[in-house]
Amino acid sequence: MRFPADFLWGAATAAYQVEGAVREDGRGESIWDRFAHTPGKVAGGDTGDVACDHYHRWAEDVDLMADLGLQAYRFSIAWPRLFPEGAGRPNSRGFDFYKRLVERLRARSIKPVATLYHWDLPQALQEAGGWVNRDTAYRFQEYAAAALRELGDGVDDWTTINEPWCAAFLGHALGQHAPGLTDWPAAVRASHHLLLAHGLAVQAFRDLMRRDQRVGITLNMTVAEPAGDSEADRAAARRYDGFFNRWFADPLFLGRYPEDMLAWYGAAGALPGTAAGAGAPDWPPPGDMALISAPIDFFGLNYYTRTICQDDPHSPFFGLRTLPPRGPVTDQGWEIVPGCLRDLLVRIQRDWTRGLPVYIHENGAAMRDVLTEDGRVHDTDRIAFLRDHLEAAGQAIADGVNLRGYFVWSLLDNFEWAWGYAKRFGIVYVDYATQRRLPKDSAFWYREVIRQNGW
Ligand code: IFM
């Protein structure tokens, strides 16, 4: 297995999942601080207060990345570190943290790839309605421009929003993520404002960016598969695909929301200005789609699993239900289906990106890791997962997909959102009691893959 000579090998993390130090150096509160501290929201009552203490251990973490031969590191910037109230007064100590991090990465020849939003909205903006309020998109534009101005010297590649589906729907409709709402109209609005925020940030970046800098977005996508070969199940899978994939990718690349989903949300009264049964109104506001679909420089894909969909006329959830996995699963019960990664990459290029550089910005697995007496984690299951997915990625390249790089999720075990610390995604084991980092076997395996550009 050999990858193209300039294939970029990296690992990813996100601010709230690794940094800790939530009250230090002027950082403001985020919606995830509030959510995690609300009893019953996160398994075991875990919070990101300390996480991997990366805020203090960033230097040794960068050295560890260098030891592992990483060529790129995808991290996210905590908006409330830069703007504790979300807007207005900037916090220079927040900027300083990321400046130091970026400097050291570059000194170790590791390419920094910055994500502007990985879910930690400043709580002050939530008080004003959060993503349900259109103004938040404009505050994001200001924050993005400030981040680029201050950190742009060292960061060439920028992702605006990570996984808007999670922020919008897990956060506002399904209640599993911050801010924990169960309000479909709010979720649909939030999804639009997240996309608008992306478009506004791209607009600001185009004015400020150097020619060698790039801006893109990162979506999590699934392969929605029909449970059986009936027409009804195929239609159910198509609806799920609309909910999960097309609702975000169509606006970004085709400049419009999918008609079937507009009709669905319109009929459910979930679009702004509609009552149930009213149908799709004249929405979104003029000009929004041009902003959202403005050209970007790369696309980031996060892929973990597929979704099996069965028609169910009685289900209020798009008239379908999702079925349990049919094959081996990770520790989170997510079905391991590497072949779907190849299919997805081919489809993304065919339907949306049309030759634009694509990166796998996240792929990995929570496994039941055991720290053995030899002080090692022999995570052969994770190695098999990574190898099989990389093989699928390689096949997609052979199919003609312009795939330029791969970031394993995650560098470190970390705060896995509503699952807390119970799920371990890292290629590096974190002993949370001592904060010691222990590269798992998968880390050594990945180092070798990077060295050989394959295996
Ligand atoms: O940990 C998350 C990450 O923050 C976003 N993508 C999926 C990962 C695994 O659930």
Domain spans of the chain?
8-452
Which ligand 1 atom sits nearest the alpha carbon of residue 162?
A: 5
pLDDT at site 274: 81
Pocket test for ligand 1, best of 425, 427, 430 (most atoms within 8 A of CB): 425
Annotate 80-119 with DSSP letters as a single string: HHH-TTSSSS--HHHHHHHHHHHHHHHHTT-EEEEEEESS
Q: Is 331 in the pocket of ligand 1 (CB under 6 A)?
A: no
CATH superfamily of 8-452: Glycosidases (3.20.20.80)
Determine if ligand 1 sits within 6 Å of the CB of residue 157.
no
Q: What is the pLDDT of residues 201-213, one digit of tens each?
A: 999 999 999 999 9
What does the buried/exposed string (b/e) look like for 134-149 if buried means 16 or more CB atoms within 10 Å of the residue's CB? Answer: bebbebbbbbbbbbbe
* Cα 416 to ligand 1 centre (Å): 7
Question: pLDDT digits over 138-193, tens only?
Answer: 999 999 999 999 999 999 999 999 999 999 999 999 999 999 999 999 999 999 99
SS3 (DSSP) at 229: coil
CB of 302 closer than 6 A to ligand 1?
Answer: yes
Rounded distance between C-alpha atoms, residue 381 and residue 12, angstroms? 20
**SS3 label, residue 75:** strand
User: How far apart are alpha carbons 66 and 45 in whole angstroms?
Assistant: 34
Asked if residue 404 has pLDDT above 80, the reply is yes
Which residues make Cβ contacts (< 8 Å) with residue 420, sequence separation at least 6? 42, 43, 44, 45, 46
- The reported pTM is 0.98
Alpha helices in 229-367 (DSSP H): 231-241, 247-254, 259-267, 288-292, 338-348
Asked whether the beta carbons of 284 and 228 are under 8 A apart, the reply is no
Active site residues: 163, 362
